[in-house]
A and B are shown apart, each in its own frame.
Chain A
Amino acid sequence: MTDSLDVRFVGDDSLRIDGLSRGRRDGWCFDLQAQGGWVEIVPGRSSVTVQFDPLEILPEDARRKLVSLENQVASVVAPTPDPITIPVAYGGDYGPDLDAVCEALGMTQDRLIDQHTSNVHIVDFLGFTPGFAYLYTDQKNEIHVPRLDGPRQRVSIGSVGVVGGSTGLYALAGPGGWPIIGRSPMKLFDATSTPPSQLASGQKVIFCAISADTFKDLAE
């Protein structure tokens, strides 16, 4: 065990490794899956969290089991299929925080929308709620804002949020803490499909701006 691995307990039945690059995170997920015995293996933006059953393995033994993989984990690069286009109506009722985000960044709406729609975004990982996708971009990106001071009780289905340079797609309605800049009429989650989520890790995405009228047409 080296000092470099940042492992912390989350309660009595989970352990989180922080400070991971994307490739290293995906490598950990792959090797933990292969190792077996974990109840959940959950990637985060720069972390992996495992959940275990303390009736089957004591917390300190779980920590040792996790750390034992450190020297074998290799970086993994997720395949990146051709981009799909996701239509988004920006601002107004569809993006209730667009004004505040632009003001915080000192950007005009046009410039922000232009940057968001010209960049290629890549699905980093899935999480939060079914169908929700976290996306990042390797291109020039000035859209760095913090979360809302407290979460909204209800974010509309299809909402597009931005936090810390990432974009998040709310595939279902529900509470949420990301400033919302727009909304897509595209169905991102269908419980009857296999898999139920439209997006998977590594998928490239291009957002295209649509008008409120087009949103209504597409939503029908």
Chain B
Amino acid sequence: MSFHILSPGPQAMLQAKPRTGLRHFGVPTSGPMDPLSFALANRLVGNQLSAPVIEITLGGFDARCDADMVVAVAGADAEVAINASPVSRHTALDLQQGDTLSITYPNAGCRSYVSCAGGFAADNWLGSGSTYLPAGVGGAGGRALRPGDVLRSSGASTSPAEPCATPLGYRPPMTESWALRAVPGPEATDAIADLFFNSVFRLSNRTSRMGGALDGGPISGLSHAAMPSAAVFPGSVQCPPDGRPFLLMADAQTTGGYPLIAQVIRADRHLMGQIRPGDRVRFLRTTPEVAADVLRHKTALFEDWLEGPFHLG
């Protein structure tokens, strides 16, 4: 079976499981920006939850299939259609040979995930099929999808899945105003932390899979003294002397030297991938102990439906 990309929209690429354990070589984690929607998309078509899927940023996506196939769409609140007839997100979709699947610019949220039964075939680099654009590795030739690209399923084409839909309670809500729980970072003084957690930000247009600048604040009062470069992660908030913090995401660099003033907790990192430039972002202060508890509860909740290993960030 093959899937012909007619329009990838602003940016679409293959993402699979994260590339872990390699940050000391400068190799970022990559993987889906919203790992929860990624797992939900795979669940609908009966895949392993880490099978390669298409990550679509801000819609504008059209693709045609050349054989019958089962697909599903999760993630941003966008309109999904088969041959221009509306269909549901969070539902396994039976595509017939020649059908065109379309995903519009989202009403809310930023990224859509398209899974296919068997998983899309992706280039493996250092143990993962995830695309990492800066190094040109993984996915489909290490690059974003282009019109004319043809993706193939890596698994055997399966018979039409039994009707499958994500139960309503498991569909992550999309919004234009996000609250992320975070722990103050090692470089945050009490005053900096107070200022940061009381500020409302907007995600700027200077946003990529590496991270995004946060408009708001500014967070002033940080030392200009050179600090020694140290590890940063997806979810790290760094603040340079100009007072404009930036939030690091899936392709985050592995080390950095701007003050690390906050770290988004693991349980909430999946939300980062759905923040659209212009959306409001607030950070809610918590502690490592509370965060571990939140992670346990949130994971247990989704495990009931996902029934396999997945990660929230």
Residues of A at under 8 Å CB distance from B? 8-14, 16, 18, 29, 39-47, 49, 51, 54-55, 58-60, 125-132, 134, 144, 146-151, 153, 163-164, 166, 172-175, 177, 189, 191, 195, 197
Contact = CB atoms under 8 A, between A and B. Distances in A.
B36 to A, nearest CB: 15
A129 B226 contact: no
Interface stretch (B38-46, B58-66, B84-92, B233-241): B233-241
A189 B132 CA distance: 14
Contact of A150 (B135, B230, B241): B241
B226 A40 contact: no
A43 B225 CA distance: 21
Contact of A163 (B135, B137, B257, B286): B257
Nearest to A13: B266
A136 to B, nearest CB: 11
Given A59-B292, A128-B256, A195-B25, A11 B229 contact: no
A175 B185 CA distance: 22
Contact of B226 (A14, A51, A58, A146): A146
Contacts of B134: 129-130, 172-174
A54 B292 contact: yes
B71 interface: no
A153 B207 CA distance: 10
Nearest to A50: B231
A110 B164 CA distance: 69
A52 to B, nearest CB: 10
A138 B165 CA distance: 63
B242 A150 contact: yes
Interface in B287-313: 287-289, 291-292, 295-296, 299
Interface string B142-161: 10000000000000000000
Interface stretch (B3-11, B16-24, B170-178, B274-282): B16-24
Contacts of A60: 288-289
Contacts of B98: none
* Interface core residue of B137, B229, B255 (most chain A CB under 10 Å): B229
Given A47-B230, A191-B135, A147 B258 contact: yes
A168 B264 CA distance: 28
Contacts of B255: 42, 44, 127-128, 134
Contact of A129 (B24, B253, B287): B253
A10 B231 contact: yes
Contacts, number: 179
Q: Tell me the dominant secondary structure on chain A's binding face.
A: loop
B72 interface: no
B240 A149 contact: yes
A58 B292 contact: yes
Contacts of B185: 10-11
B94 to A, nearest CB: 36
Given A42-B24, A126-B25, A16 B231 contact: yes
Contacts of B267: 12
Contact of A46 (B135, B228, B265, B266): B228
B24 A126 contact: yes
Contact of B231 (A47, A58, A164): A47
A153 B186 contact: no
B26 interface: yes
Interface in B250-266: 253-258, 260, 263-266
Q: Which 10 A-B pairs have the closest CB atoms?
A: A11-B263, A12-B291, A45-B228, A44-B230, A127-B255, A49-B231, A42-B231, A164-B226, A59-B288, A150-B242
Given A49-B231, A54-B266, A151-B246, 12 more contacts: A10-B186, A13-B265, A14-B263, A44-B228, A45-B230, A47-B228, A49-B230, A59-B288, A127-B231, A134-B229, A146-B224, A164-B226
